[in-house]
Each structure stands twice: as structure tokens, then as C-alpha cells.
Amino acid sequence: MTEKQVTLPITGMHCTNCSDTVARELGKLDGVATADVNYATERATVTFNPSVLNENGIIERIQDIGYGVATGEIELPITGMHCVNCAASVEKALNEMRPSVVSATVNFATEKAKIAYIPGQVTPTDLIAAIKGAGYG
């Protein structure tokens, strides 16, 4: 079994009991080998079997128990779009990066993409690479 590890920024924890709860609940998920949650750093590091569980399942469980995963937002200019279908292609490429990309909307009129993402999982450079991979700048 090849294990994968993900580190997620957690929001909504107020004490060490909160971090213990998150760790315990994540540990109950099928496919999770280890779940370490640090209240001081507000981070959860989860080692899991990707053939049984994915990052979305981990994020959903965190949200189901009343906590959140911190996101960053960025607005990037997009060049080379000629129509709304071009904007849809860029949006699709960005949204295929889920769960690292939480949401992405592209406005053809303003030639900008507004992207919510999980820091540490994806970088602005990765987002730009996805846009370029879709054929735009």
C-alpha cells in the first residue's frame, strides 16, 4: 500500500480538546493510517491510503464535525481568451485541481480568475501552470 500525506490548515479550534476531537474523528475514517492535529500550529497532518480515501473525504469530515480548512484567495489576470467558452475552459482546468482548489470563477469581461485554494496544497505558480496548460496566459 502506498500511503499519501496531506497537511491542512484547520480553522475553528479553540483549545487542545478541539484538536484532539479532530484527530480522533479523522482517525475513524477508513484508509487513515495516522492523524496528527496540532492546536498551536492549527494544522492537521493525515497519512492515508489514496485508494480508499482522498483529500476531499478528509476535508468533508473536518467540516462535518464543525471545523474548517483555511483557504487563500487570489485573483489572476488571464490573457488569450476570445469568448466565454475560453473562460469556461480556464475555469474547468482550475476546478480540476480540487480539493486543493476550493473554487475558481473566470470572468471573460474582466479577463480575471478568482480562485480560492488551500495554501500548502497548491501555490500561485501551480495555478498559473494550470491556466497555461489550458492554453491561456
| CA atoms of 53 and 59, how far apart (whole Å) | 11
Concatenating the DSSP letter of every residue in 4-67 gives: EEEEEEEE---SHHHHHHHHHHHHTSTTEEEEEEETTTTEEEEEE-TTT--HHHHHHHHHHTT-
Evaluate whether 43 touches 1 at the Cβ level (below 8 Å).
no
- pLDDT of 1 above 80: no
What the block records as the C-alpha cell of 137 is 496566459
What the block records as the C-alpha cell of 103 is 473554487
Q: Which pTM value belongs to this model?
A: 0.72
Q: Which of 85, 77, 84, 82 is nearest to 132 (CA)?
A: 77
- pLDDT of 115 above 80: yes
Q: Are residues 16 and 48 both part of a single domain?
A: yes
Q: Are residues 44 and 77 both part of a single domain?
A: no
Q: Are residues 63 and 99 both part of a single domain?
A: no
The pLDDT of 104-128, averaged and rounded, is 93
Q: Quick one: pLDDT band at residue 121, thresholds 50, 70, 90? A: confident
Is the model more confident about 128 or about 100? Answer: 128
- pLDDT value of residue 56: 83
Mean predicted lDDT score pLDDT of the chain: 94
Q: Are residues 80 and 31 both part of a single domain?
A: no
Number of domains in the chain: 2
Domain with 50 in it: 4-69
Angle between helical axes of 16-27 and 55-64 (0-180°, round to 10): 130
The pLDDT of 94-106, averaged and rounded, is 91
Q: Are residues 87 and 44 both part of a single domain?
A: no
CA-to-CA dists, residue 17 to 22, 23, 95, 136, angstroms: 9, 10, 34, 47
CATH classification of the domain holding 42:
3.30.70.100
The pLDDT of 16-35, averaged and rounded, is 98
Point out the least confidently predicted range of 23-32, 61-70, 101-110, 118-127: 118-127
Q: Are residues 50 and 86 both part of a single domain?
A: no
Length of the chain (residues): 137
Q: Are residues 32 and 88 both part of a single domain?
A: no
Last residue of a domain, one of 69, 94, 116: 69
- pLDDT value of residue 55: 86
Q: Are residues 127 and 93 both part of a single domain?
A: yes
